[in-house]
Structure 1
Amino acid sequence: MKTLVVTLFSLALVMGLVITAGQAASPDQAQPGLAKFVGGTIEEIDPAGLRVTIQTEFGKKESFPVGDAAVLMGLTKGDRVSAEMDEQGKVLKIVKLTPERKGAPEPGS
């Protein structure tokens, strides 16, 4: 009987750890209140349809809805950007990233 109790307790403990690890390992589930960011290069801008297509740093092209046309102002195809999205995947803000200039003089020289 003691062996059965120890075995059942061990099984329950292991199953609890497996479930907890599985829940922690799913980054696709957005946590409320946390913003999601995507970085990459702008491939297409659709101001009429309020969408922007970004090729991520992993090479995948993704199209995202934009909450306001003002978010797209000043952006052009080829811009390197970081986009902040809400929990539903709608773009709230896009920030242009400045390219690193090679051969530029160091500040103060």
Structure 2
Amino acid sequence: NKRNLLNNCKGDAYTKIPEARERKKLDDRWPDLGNTEEYSMKEQKFWEYEYNKHGTVVQGRYNQEEYFNLTMKLKDKFDILQTLQNHGIIPGLTRTIKQFGNALRQLLKCFLA
């Protein structure tokens, strides 16, 4: 039930990542596909949005740095971008939510059961 999902919990707000090396590592694995690399690395709006929506849920267990490290490990484990490419979902093409869902269903079946 989507109404029972945890997100946007109260907690510490996102703090910009000052270290260029850490920003680059995050951008390589979790890029802001809606903006230029230069803009997203400077402004960090995408990561701020993701952290404030999802990272605040786990604040009692993970701080901001640990949250992003965990997301990068999960991305590496499941390789979502490759799965999307295998289903013809590539940057520059418009796709529906249903197409994304169909592409990711097999990958995420263990979480949806």
Higher relative contact order (CA 8 A, sep 6+): 2
Task: State the TM-score bracket (shorter-chain normalisation).
Answer: under 0.3
Rg larger for: 1
- TM-score, with length taken from structure 1: 0.18
More helix by share: 2
- TM-score, with length taken from structure 2: 0.18
More strand by share: 1
